[in-house]
Structure 1
């Protein structure tokens, strides 16, 4: 390892790791807090293997080591003398025979939230290291695949909020601007938009992106474009802007000129997602739509470094029509899902980052979201293999499960962590145990009609039209919402929310 002055929390993380018995553990550390330099300084008793999901990240960690290092990716092969091997997961999954099962003392899984994928499992099942360490910067979403069959505990956590509060990262002011693209016909491949189709869908947006820069950017600006061609088109429209792509040879000179204030804006295509340190960045414009939480946090992460005179990061999401796909925007940094927020309310998702959760909750707390909730909770329970016992839970944008009772009383089960656990009733327990405890509490203390669906009735009500009485109540309670065409099930869901703890109006 190189002689680097580690921060106190990085030292604490390393000490925590080194105190663990052999096993597999998760470490959650926000982008910008230095997870790579942290795992590079773990004391090894043998060789280390680093697994990365995206090829552009494979070489990045090696600059932190002063020993022999090798790469396993495409045409590159590590040698037996290499003490640290950094590998593309896709490549390593097909080259396991080159290595002995006990070859590595430590296996580090970068972007560990991908660990449940079959390629990862093949590798992790093959090797038998002393320590398997999963590092992730991405906050968990409740609908993510659980990793409790891979990792046995989460041993260290420092999230984005902690980093900002403790003065290690810049605060974030978030805005969104619609630049007119339409992604509804773009297919998803490997968990993100298909590159060629995405580039075609973004064709013609350079003018809008340049206008966004002129009217909304502040200070030194970094723009993420979807392609080399788009990057060049955007830069043509911004005086003094520089373009950086994978083919750019004088990248270091451009970064220096940018840091010195000689270049006002850099437009790049998939280059500065690698952890390049450019602290001066005051504005990040994300004009590269993505469904990948990790890619999005990497892009935003380029503007999180502190810099003299820099008050905060100005984050601008260039949005359009994305259809059902889960487009990552600022709330994604906190693990918040916007798919339940009506289109008409999305423009409200501006402001300081930690103001957004309440804004999202308010925007999603409306009849359009309430009537979908039965299907949302049912699908979530099926995918996660949970039994909700028929309790009428509402799944909130932050992943928590809320059962609203009479007199505005609520039972709240927080979002589960990466191992499927929640803090409930003062204890850390599996999500299913929390659902069981909630059901026992409800059956003991409340009347059944207050909290539970009659599933057979729900099947009938799913097709029957709402009664006149239901429609009248909804019109009176939900001002501005048209209840025409609702089924009995949808109407009862709205009324349950309004009368048992929900808001009094849309």
Structure 2
């Protein structure tokens, strides 16, 4: 297979590294599997680790050597390339010599900090461990510096579209009415049986979304075989594809030829299937997994004659505290601070969504909620914020409002927890927080009522004053001022009076 220039560059970069553990990020559709399959093995063995069992078999087609499987009832037998399920291999380490593999590839490497991965990494002694991921890695979520020493290659979704390797993405949202507030999480995603039950009765709404929004050849991702069949019944000419479907290639050929308008599938086309004709992807399979979401969307990112862009339709519902992936997840952007009443506005060109989310997040509801979000984040990541009143932006950066419309900003840390500061220096996130605090203490004592959380909290939970409410009501049209505490009102007024107007969506 002839490699694309960036794939060859990635391989050359890997080859040039000294022994160690390194991270490479390549967006879905840019061919990370093809890339790691072509890394020279120099006559020695390679191990491929996958987080999801359905991905273990898929790299096989890119290799022309012996290929073994470690998954469930399948065992390898000394093959040149071994592809393994993380969960299975962790139980079978004693079957292998610690020096069995010169090269280990960790697919979906954003999971690599988990204890199961660490058990495997600690056991083997490869010359190189290379982590590949298709999703934007943010060190404010999971830090990977305990595994990888350096990010050596990055080609993200924006790069792929800009350079003509992937098509543009137009995003739509439709609430089909399901409620997964009570659905439990199993191994990092919604429990399948509970999810299927929660989605029962949504087939009519999904079919209507297809009729109202879909353009051209459409691929729908359903949560179960049952749901896929129910959806297909309601769409003329639709065909169901499941793991039991025998004539899969014939269906894809007919779909590509325009004879089948819509395929409804259940966890079949998440990765490795090339169907460039897809013009619309409807995600009706809620997930917390950014990698799974990216793989579903990735089925529609290929270029095809006459195809202008991918229409991406997210079927969303009530999620409570759950982290439902939607289009902004492709860019590593959070929706946590977007008020419910503004979520419907987060539509349009994918690369315009971050600005829309930032505007929607800059609202009184978000300002009040943000203190709690930052506290939780700092506890989870074990960071000391020194009680600075940081506002966490959708891209993971931190902003502190100061007097005279000034701001202090700490950019989002990368996957290794490192921050590129505005002055050109680079340091860990905790050091960036420490430096910022020292600067505030030294240069902004007069602004302490703005940036010191203790000063904000001293107002307590007593009701907001009439004067506070009067200003907020005047400046924040449509915002419900009932039940505001003095502390909440103080936080809102700090933002209103000290943030540039163009930054606010209040």
Partner of residue 55, structure 2: 57
Give the conservation status (yes or no) of the 8 Å contact 2:140–2:417. Answer: no
Report the counterpart of residue 197 of structure 1 in structure 2.
194
Mapping 1:78-93, distance limit 5 Å: 78-80=76-78, 82-93=79-90
Instruction: Give the aligned partner of residue 460 of structure 2.
Output: 462
Q: Say whether the 8 Å CA contact 1:242–1:267 is kept in structure 2.
A: yes
Deviations 1:294-337 (A, max 9, x none): 11000000000000110000000011111110111001101111
Partner of 1:119, secondary structure, is: helix
Q: CA deviation at 1:454?
A: 4.6
CA 1:505–1:290: 2 relative to 1, 3 Å: closer
SS of alignment partner, residue 493 of structure 1: helix
**Contact map agreement 1:141 1:336 (CA 8 A) in 2:** no
CA distance in 1, matches of 2:141, 2:194: 26
Alpha-carbon distance, 1:447 to partner: 2.7
Aligned residue for 1:154? 151
Matched-pair contact (CA < 8 Å) for 2:207–2:235: yes
**Stretch deviating more after TM superposition (135-144 or 17-26):** 135-144
Matched, 1:445 2:443: yes
Task: Judge which range, 392-401 or 463-472, deviates more.
Answer: 463-472
Partner of 1:362: 359
Report the secondary structure of 1:25's partner residue.
Answer: strand
Contact 2:214 2:280 (C-alpha < 8 Å) held by counterparts:
yes
Shift in Å at residue 450 of structure 1? 4.3
The 3 A distance-change label for structure 1 pair 448 and 383 is: farther
Indicate which of 74, 98, 102 corresponds to 1:101: 98
Instruction: Tell me the residue number matched to 2:36.
Output: 39
Shift of 1:462: 3.5
Q: Quick check: 1:77 aligned with 2:75?
A: yes
> How does 1:351-500 map onto structure 2 within 5 Å?
351-424=348-421, 425-450=423-448, 453-454=451-452, 456-500=454-498
Q: Using the TM superposition, give the Cα deviation of residue 446 of structure 1 relative to its aligned residue in structure 2, in angstroms.
A: 2.1
Match of 1:23 in 2: 20
Q: Work out whether 1:186 is the aligned partner of 2:194.
A: no
* Structure 2 residue aligned with 1:232: 229
Residues 430-468 of structure 1, C-alpha deviations (whole Å, 9 max, x = no match)? 112222222233233323434765555555433222222
> Per-residue deviation at 1:496?
1.1
Could you tell me how far apart the structure 1 residues matched to 2:162 and 2:50 are? 29
Alignment partners' CA distance in 1, 2:481 and 2:224: 45
Of 238, 244, 247, the residue aligned with 1:241 is 238
Q: Taking structure 1 as reference, are residues 462 and 290 closer, same or farther at Cα in structure 2, changes over 3 Å only? A: farther
TM-score, structure 2 as length reference: 0.97
- Supply the distance in 2 between the matched residues of 1:255 and 1:407 (Cα, whole angstroms): 60
Is residue 323 of structure 1 aligned with residue 311 of structure 2?
A: no
Give the secondary structure class of the aligned counterpart of 2:148: coil
Do 1:342 and 1:368's aligned partners in 2 also have CA atoms closer than 8 Å?
yes
Query: For structure 1, which runs of at least 5 residues remain unmatched after alignment?
Result: none
Return the match for 1:311 from 297, 303, 308.
308
Aligned residues between the structures: 502
Whether the aligned pair in 2 keeps the contact of 1:172 and 1:315 (CA below 8 Å) is yes
Q: Deviations over 1:402-449 (max 9, x none)?
A: 112222221221111110011102122211222222223323332343
SS at match of 1:103: coil
Q: Is the 8 A contact 1:466 1:487 kept in 2?
A: yes
Looking at structure 2, the residues matched to 269 and 259 of structure 1 have their Cα atoms a distance apart, in angstroms, of: 19
Instruction: Report how far residue 70 of structure 1 moved.
Output: 0.2
**CA 1:384/1:140 → structure 2, altered by over 3 Å: closer, same or farther?**
same
SS in structure 1 of the partner of residue 99 of structure 2: coil
**Would you say the 8 A contact 1:391–1:451 is kept in 2?**
no
CA distance in 2, matches of 1:118, 1:259: 43
Q: CA deviation at 1:235?
A: 0.8
Shift in Å at residue 380 of structure 1? 1.3
Q: CA RMSD in A?
A: 1.4
CA distance in 1, matches of 2:37, 2:82: 12
Following superposition, the deviation at residue 261 of structure 1 comes to 0.8
Q: Distance in 2 between matches of 1:395 and 1:450?
A: 19
Contact 1:26 1:156 in 2 (8 A): yes
Which of 67, 86, 95 is equivalent to 2:65? 67
Aligned equivalent of 2:275: 278
The Cα of 1:238 is off from its aligned counterpart by 1.1
Q: CA deviation at 1:502?
A: 5.4
217, 220, 223: which one aligns with 1:223? 220
Tell me, in whole angstroms, the C-alpha distance in 2 between the residues paired with 1:443 and 1:162. 40
Q: TM-score, normalised by structure 1?
A: 0.97
Quick check: 474-483 or 226-235, which moved more? 474-483
Q: Distance in 2 between matches of 1:105 and 1:454?
A: 52
How many angstroms apart in 2 are the aligned matches of 1:102 and 1:220? 48
Q: Post-superposition shift, 1:194?
A: 0.7
1:300 & 1:185 partners in 2: Cα distance?
A: 26
